[in-house]
Amino acid sequence: MAEELEIKLTLPMSCVDGVSRWLEQKAGEGVVSRLLINRYYDTPSLELNGQRAALRVRQAGNRFIQTLKTQGEFVNGAHRREEWEWDLPRDQLEIGLLAETPLATAVDLTQLAVVFETNFKRLAGNLESDAGMAECALDVGVVRSGVQEIALCEVEFELKSGRSEALLDWTRQLALEYPLFLNLVSKAEQGYWLSGRYTPVSDDLSADQATGLLKALSVLWLAGYDGIDRSAIAAMVSALIAGSTDPAIKGDLEWLQGKLVAQEPPLDWVFDPELLRLQLALIDGSARA
């Protein structure tokens, strides 16, 4: 078992070429491109999802990898979770490998079947700074469940060594050049939502208002206003406004409040620089009430 710490950002498709060049410039000759085919498994009643776990089999060239991840927790805007990984001889789930994981007694593993896929091209390289080393991965492709599919376009910074501040440092550098949206909804959650049997909720992660708001905004991006508790998100924004002593942050919170009150379509404003500025302030604690 291992732990991973990562920050995930969604970006417009129009920025893919520019971000690709940015990554190649920053990471140098170590950048690698590969096609990843990922099939996610669950039971008919989505027991794994109920346990906040994701199970997939990935094909990367001639290699097959079975991975189990738990949702874990959000730490200063980064995602920390437990992960198990096994190499497979072929593209076929091996239930026996799960015997030593928490799923062994938590769900009926004999009922596992493919629920959705996430298939994408990944461009990845390592970035080094004084704070540590992070892998940057640009993923472009689709999330597919049956005949339904949505576009996938995101950047992940995953800490390989050093301090977690490295992830924020690289996020800020990339944000100077391209519009980004800090997204706490995982690829797996997007797939479950697309299957039509699940909508991520914005009020189940933390009593912390800043983390709750970040999660709510991510659900809003995915599922629209029907996917959130409008009164809960309004209360979080109002509390953060009341507790803010920074005029710039307070202004960004009021800007967000206006978008939410007017119920403007999220895709019209999630890439506005005011929102990312606010999200980063929520991460580093300067906007917390």
Q: What is the 3-state secondary structure (H, E, C) of 174-243?
A: HHCCCCCEECCCCHHHHHHHHCCCCCCCCCCCCCCHHHHHHHHHHHHHHHCHHHCCHHHHHHHHHHHHHH
Residue in this structure with the two tokens 């302030």, named with its chain if needed:
281
| Pair 95, 110: CB distance under 8 Å | yes
pLDDT recorded at residue 126 = 96
Percent of the chain with pLDDT over 90: 68
Q: State mean pLDDT over 189-204.
A: 81
Which residues touch 18 (CB under 8 Å, ≥6 apart)?
177, 178
Instruction: Encode pLDDT of 51-105 as tens digits.
Output: 888 899 999 999 999 999 886 555 555 555 688 999 999 999 999 999 888 888 8
147 or 287, higher pLDDT: 147
Q: Is the pLDDT of residue 203 over 60?
A: no
- In three-state secondary structure terms, 182 is strand
**Separation CA 279–CA 82 (nearest Å):** 25
What domains lie within the chain, and their CATH numbers?
A: 2-198 (2.40.320.10), 201-289 (no CATH)
**Separation CA 195–CA 116 (nearest Å):** 7
**Separation CA 52–CA 68 (nearest Å):** 11
Closest CA to 207 of 143, 288, 108: 288
What's the pTM? 0.87
pLDDT recorded at residue 205 = 43
- In three-state secondary structure terms, 203 is coil
Q: State mean pLDDT over 11-33.
A: 95
Residue in this structure with the two tokens 């009341």, named with its chain if needed:
242
Hey, what are 203's tokens? 């009020």
- In three-state secondary structure terms, 147 is coil
pLDDT recorded at residue 64 = 97
- Name the least confident of 71-75, 93-97, 230-234, 255-259: 71-75
Mean pLDDT of the chain: 89
Hey, what are 77's tokens? 């805007």
**Separation CA 12–CA 6 (nearest Å):** 20
Hey, what are 75's tokens? 């730490």
**Separation CA 204–CA 234 (nearest Å):** 16
